[in-house]
Amino acid sequence: MKNILFYTLFVIGFCPVLKAQTDITVLDTVLLSDEKLLEFSTGQQVHKLSDSLIRNNDPLLTDILNFNSPVYFKENGRGMVSSPSFRGTTASQTAVVWNGININSQFNGQLDFNTINSGAYDEIAIRGGGGSVVYGTGAIGGSVHLNNIISFRERTEHHLVFRYGSFNTIDARYQLELSKNDWSFNLSLARNSSDNDYEYPEDRGENLNGQYYNNAINLSLGHRFHLNNTIKLISELFEGERHFSLIRPSEPRTRYTNLNSRNLLEWNSEFSDFDQVTTLAYITENYRYYANIESDVYSLGVAKNLIAKYDLSYEAGENILINTVLQNTYIDGEGSDLGSNSRNIFSAAFLFKQALSDKFQYEAGLRKEITQNYESPVLFSLGANYEFNDIYSLQLSASKNFRIPTYNDLYWTNSGNPELDPETSIQGEIGNRFSLRDLDVELVLFYNELQQMIRWLPGENGVWRPRNEDEVQIMGIESRVSWEKLFEDNQQLNVQASFAYTSSQDRDTGRQLIYVPFYKVTGTAGYTWKRFTPSLQLLYNAKVFTRTDHSESLDGYVLANFSASYAMDEKRQWIAGARINNLLNSDYQNVEDRFMPGTNFNIFLNINL
């Protein structure tokens, strides 16, 4: 906690000094660092989660996406390590993008979604399909975007969420937004903790050593001057500690702490038909793992990531956008089993977008990386949208994407393989969208071929080493349905549902990859009547295989959550409510012998002033 207090005072105290460079795309009064998410997603579906949905759900990113996206999550128990599978890929093939910067771990190439507190962000978006041309390594199955928004309009707003529930679980989030015509200040504070001592179903025991806590601080500053220049600073600190749950009471109790920081400084300047954005980002990872909490001995990993990016776009007339992005990334990392290593990666991307009419637009992109650590392929992306009429539109996209070898893959002591090549994928998708009055339907068919997939396999001497080994063929369907209806007396009904079918097979064996379900279904329904709002969430995950030979599996399961809230004033500034999770008391696991909790509850208070 001392680190967080010091960090807050440091950032606030040095704000005048650091006011120098920021990303700002002037969209009236709303500025978003990750502008490429909107500008260069032609042919792909991007879904944003509303701020009300974020505030009304449990804070960890796993909980929100599990019930509101087609992404499957493998959790080692509630609040423990959480790994996604997006469109049949692995956790390291899903990119997490923070304000336009890829923040996947340098150690294992993935991000633990239970180390992300949603209370720190203004917007969370999900983008299916490849995105390596824009977002780099790991954007193969899809990408998840965490954004902080700068707004230049007269306002002073306070948002407070307080939630208390089973297992002594506390969720507290506060957000302050201050802005005028030429400056903006946002501050977010979030705390989440739990004893996490739930009972296993059918008298199997109790979740031992599962307690955790995390704190997140996010600060955003923006200043607009001389009409065409804007600067922005975004800074975030996440501190967390988890005691990993035990499978058997006789096991030693372990502990894991991590301290991650993300800092972004951008300057946006517009002149004539050009728009340039200069970005400096500094990202750090720091973890310690205690194999026995009774001992002071620990293993550690520290990675420092310095990114310099120059983005220049040119509007060639009203309907053509040309964009070049140059980026240099320097990474310095060390760990107990890695030694000390560094690598420098330079990348250049070229993006082109044209609207041939109000109904048809297309885009194309190329990217190439240069580094001494591996041979990087030339990446490409193509996309097109065509709106036939007010009811039906068609989207098409194709791309080549990749994932670079991680620090663990390259440098692990006595096992790392410096000869590894990046994983690559060729993929395409066809999207269909139907809009009819209050009904909106999306249907996406996708195909993906993964090559050079990195696997850790035993060698001749019995030592496990990573190799470019597997080829995987993925195909599937994603669909979304949303319906909204307004009635008299300010009554409103909202219904959303999603369905995903995914076949992700090893080309050699023809078997489905482990921890990839064939089916996932979600559904949400909410009804507002005057000041009262009940809502229901449903989730179905089909069974998953836990062995590559399909000799063992985990059964599918159905989850249901029910909540009800009441607005204590007409402006809905004070809202109180309660939520029941796992209403059906389903007995389920996401990982073998890692039981999830049965029925549990929480009460909450949301204040918006």
Give the number of C-alpha atoms closer than 13 A to the C-alpha of residue 172, restricted to the C-beta side. Answer: 10
β-pairing, 423-436 vs 439-458, is antiparallel
Residue 10, pLDDT > 60, answer no
Mean pLDDT computed over every residue of the chain: 89
Residue 3, pLDDT > 70, answer no
Residue 21: what pLDDT? 34
What's CA 420's distance to the chain center, in Å? 27
SS3 64: helix
Residue 13, pLDDT > 50, answer no
Q: Average pLDDT in the 105-113 region?
A: 90
Residue 581, pLDDT > 50, answer yes
Q: Average pLDDT in the 76-104 region?
A: 93
Residue 30: what pLDDT? 65
User: Which pLDDT band holds residue 567 (cuts at 50, 70, 90)?
Assistant: very high
Q: Average pLDDT in the 402-409 region?
A: 90
Q: Average pLDDT in the 140-150 region?
A: 92
SS3 119: helix
Task: Please answer whether residues 420 and 454 qualify as being in contact, where contact means their C-beta atoms are separated by less than 8 angstroms.
Answer: yes
Strand partners, 307: 281, 329
- Tell me the percentage of the chain whose pLDDT exceeds 90: 67
Residue 5, pLDDT > 60, answer no
Buried b (16+ CB within 10 A) or exposed e, 204-239: eeebbbbbbbbbbbbbbbbbbeeeeebbbbbbbbbb
Residue 24, pLDDT > 50, answer no
What type of residue is 62?
T
Q: Average pLDDT in the 383-392 region?
A: 95
Residue 26, pLDDT > 70, answer no
Residue 16, pLDDT > 50, answer no
**At which residue do the structure tokens 């979600």 appear?**
522
Structural domain boundaries enclosing 460: 2-608
Residue 479, pLDDT > 70, answer yes
User: Which pLDDT band holds residue 19 (cuts at 50, 70, 90)?
Assistant: very low
C-alpha 587/C-alpha 590 separation (Å) is 11
Residue 572: what pLDDT? 86
SS3 100: coil
Q: What is the pLDDT of residues 496-526, one digit of tens each?
A: 999 999 999 999 899 999 999 999 999 999 9
Q: CA-based angle 98:607:482, to the nearest 5?
A: 60
Task: Please answer whether residues 265 and 21 qualify as being in contact, where contact means their C-beta atoms are separated by less than 8 angstroms.
Answer: yes
C-alpha 493/C-alpha 368 separation (Å) is 48
CA dihedral 523, 529, 533, 537 (to 10 degrees): -10
Q: Average pLDDT in the 8-32 region?
A: 40
Residue 308, pLDDT > 90, answer yes
Nearest CA among 231, 238, 201 for reference residue 216: 238
Q: Average pLDDT in the 22-51 region?
A: 72
Q: What is the pLDDT of residues 439-464, one digit of tens each?
A: 999 999 999 999 998 888 776 677 78
Residue 2: what pLDDT? 39
Q: What is the pLDDT of residues 311-332, one digit of tens each?
A: 999 998 889 999 999 999 999 9
Residue 11: what pLDDT? 35
SS3 543: coil
Buried b (16+ CB within 10 A) or exposed e, 549-583: eeeeebeebebbbebebebeeeebeebebebbbbb
| Overall number of domains in the chain | 1
Nearest CA among 41, 73, 238 for reference residue 589: 73
Give the number of C-alpha atoms closer than 13 A to the C-alpha of residue 12, restricted to the C-beta side. Answer: 11
Residue 4, pLDDT > 70, answer no
Q: Average pLDDT in the 199-226 region?
A: 91
List the CATH number of the domain containing 182: 2.40.170.20
Q: What is the pLDDT of residues 178-204, one digit of tens each?
A: 998 889 999 999 999 999 999 998 888
Q: What is the pLDDT of residues 264-287, one digit of tens each?
A: 999 999 888 899 999 999 999 999
User: Which pLDDT band holds residue 29 (cuts at 50, 70, 90)?
Assistant: low
203: Cβ–Cβ under 8 A, 6 or more apart, which residues? none
Residue 416: what pLDDT? 85
